[in-house]
Amino acid sequence: MTILPEIRECVARAIEEDIGAGDRTTELCVPESARAEGKFFARQNLIVAGLELLPLIYEARGGVEWLEIRMHTGDRAAKGDCLAEVWGPARTLLTCERVALNFLQRLCGVATLASKYAGAVADTRCRVLDTRKTTPGLRRLEKFAAAAGGVVNHRMGLFDAILIKNNHIVAAGGVRRAVERVRNVPFPVEVEVRTRFELDEALACGASRLLLDNLTPAEAREWIQHIAGRAKVELSGGITLDNVRDYAETGADFVSVGAITHSAAAVDLNFRLKLL
């Protein structure tokens, strides 16, 4: 993970949100001189993501004496595995515990769900994409976690690709007018089509990538046969772990799944502290 300024800011906001003016309980109960060892354990099978944030979290509270990251992003951890170990002031370890766990549980959760989707389409020509349906302020981290789970990052935001969706088509006055307005732009261009008429119009305009939304696998297969390789095809809408394989086997190049980020459950992690 590249630690960009926005990631540092995200961590700083999380620390301010949780700690604010100070950790009242720890400051009153724990001697300032106390030193401790803490270990992060997986309490379920999971895909690792986000351990790179631990140094940022501890540095923001004065640092620790020693930190060992035992697993890497993308690794498979089994229940009971130790992900990381830290030594330092007991107050620091306690004060940072929840912020660290919140990040790790969320990011490992996204990576773990992404891995299930990636595994479900294994040995097909189709790749799974994530979407922009992310937690506000956490997009880069969640997309990093999705990639760790084996799916492909779609556009990061509205600024790095052109995706002409149904409401853009309505506002532009039709598929042809929308496509004509984006000719020769230095960005990837994709067009969502809802009807066979729009499909044929997009192909006639030279669209090289199409988004087919809310089709059944049987319908998607029929449309893809009609496209006959004239454009790359992405499928979206109603795609779940139960049916993603069916969609992948239609001949689509991609399936996009918003659930990877908007519905990933936090994994179960545990932080165990021992005085030194």
Are 233 and 269 members of one domain? no
Q: Which residues of 35-45 are buried (b: 16+ CB within 10 A; e: fewer)?
A: bbbbbbbbeee
Q: What is the CATH number of the domain that holds 40?
A: 3.90.1170.20
Question: What pLDDT is recorded for position 188?
Answer: 84
Q: Confirm whether 131 is domain-assigned.
A: no
CA distance 161 to 208: 13
Residue pLDDT, tens place only, 201-214: 999 998 999 999 99
pLDDT one-digit tens code per residue, 35-60: 999 999 999 999 999 999 999 999 99
Residue 27 pLDDT exceeds 90: yes
Q: Which tops the pLDDT comparison, 273 or 189?
A: 273
For the chain, how many structural domains are there in total?
2
How do beta strands 209-213 and 232-236 pair? parallel
Task: State pLDDT tens for residues 134-148.
Answer: 999 999 999 999 999
Does position 1 have pLDDT exceeding 90, yes or no? no
Q: Residue 88 to residues 39, 55, 102, 131: CA-CA distances in angstroms? A: 12, 12, 20, 39
Give dist(CA 209, CA 188) in Å, integer: 9
DSSP 156-215: SSTTS-EEE-HHHHHHHTSHHHHHHHTTT-SS-EEEEE-SHHHHHHHHHTT-SEEEEES-
Residues whose CB falls within 8 Å of the CB of residue 226, separated by 6 or more in sequence, listed in order:
196, 199
Interval 62-92: pLDDT, tens: 999 999 999 999 999 999 999 999 999 999 9
pTM above 0.85?
yes
* Domain of residue 209, residue span: 152-256
User: Which sequence positions are flagged as catalytic?
Assistant: 98, 133, 165, 192, 213
Residues 100, 203 within the same domain = no
Does residue 166 share a domain with residue 97?
Answer: no
